[in-house]
Structure 1
Amino acid sequence: MLRKLVAEGLGTALLLTGVIGSGIMGEALAGGTVAIALLANAIATGCILYCIITVLGPISGAHFNPAVTLAFALRGEIDPRRAAAYVAVQAVGAILGVWATHAMFDLPILQLSETMQRAGPAQWWSEAVATFGLLFVIFGGLKARPDAVPVLVALYITGAYWFTASTSFANPAVTLARGFSDTFAGIYPGHIAAFVLVQCAVAAVSVRPLRRLFQY
């Protein structure tokens, strides 16, 4: 159990270094061109996802996402106590990953985001679509080609950065941690709760239809 928790915490921390660090670097090098910064952010996030899922998947299952853990718990594949422990270390790991990234770029460690555009029905619907799509890819991949799940998730998130208005957070731990970074990838803390609620609600209601679709 300890190895699983370490894997989940470490993997989520590394995910946030990819998300936040590439946002900082992309914005610094893009010369004010948001599209270039977002492209860098998306590619780097996809790359780190592929790496951490491949390496840590055999240890913990590579959730790195409370919504994914919730879905697996509702499938009966992880018991409630272990699920709660996963969510706790994912949240802690995510915040530590943000702080580690700030240190790498010589920024103030403790920050609160002032990014205000992530609110409203369109953003919430985008998160619903992004979260459902992520679960669709995970559970569909596990049914069709389990060995391909790392690349499927990496490709999906890279694409979802571009085809969703919210840039596809699709992860309550990532959403929470990004509230502690006033950088390109940040989210205003007051907008976090709605994002997390949508992500968790979609995870809960998606289990049954995906089970029927993929017949698992």
Structure 2
Amino acid sequence: MTEQTASLNDRIAARVRELRAARGLSLDALATHCGVSRSMISLIERGESSPTAVLLEKLATGLGVALASLFEPPQASDDPVARLADQPLWRDPHSGYVRRNVSPAGGSSPIQIVEVAFPAKARVAYESGAREPRIHQQVWVLENTIEVTVGDATHRLEAGDCLAHVLDRPVSYHNPTRSLTRYAVVIASLPSAWR
């Protein structure tokens, strides 16, 4: 494990602990709520595991946040600028996709931007479910092609295409090509009044 990976695992660990405590959930309650074993959550919270994107999405769903929220530092920042050097890179150990949280950390905006580099022929399927507040997401393809399945509907997106949907059902991503695909994900958590 590289120093950067260990540091990001520590960040994820602190963030999961913080979010679980803020919701008053025990390890057992979170495990029951998100379908991840208590022992795995404990390993993640101690920074002793390199969880997959699918596992982190289950935790995010159980905690009622977007996956991108798990990569934020536990200490909020007042800086409205996120410098490239400070934007965390994370590689999914299962699919090899690389995500970079672009947005400034700190929660001063209900919008988060993530850039993804998705390898050729890779596939990731999330068992996403409804969250409160409702989370809206847009996938904007910057380079190449990606197939996004939301529920039962599959959308083949080419460079420049953008798909909008709500995170309230299973979502999968598949790169059917032989080249890397790059896309941006824009996530907005909106209170009930904005629906």
TM-score by length of 2: 0.29
The structure in which a higher percent of residues are strand is: 2
The structure in which a higher percent of residues are helix is: 1
Q: Which has the higher contact order (CA 8 A, sep 6+)?
A: 1
TM-score by length of 1: 0.27
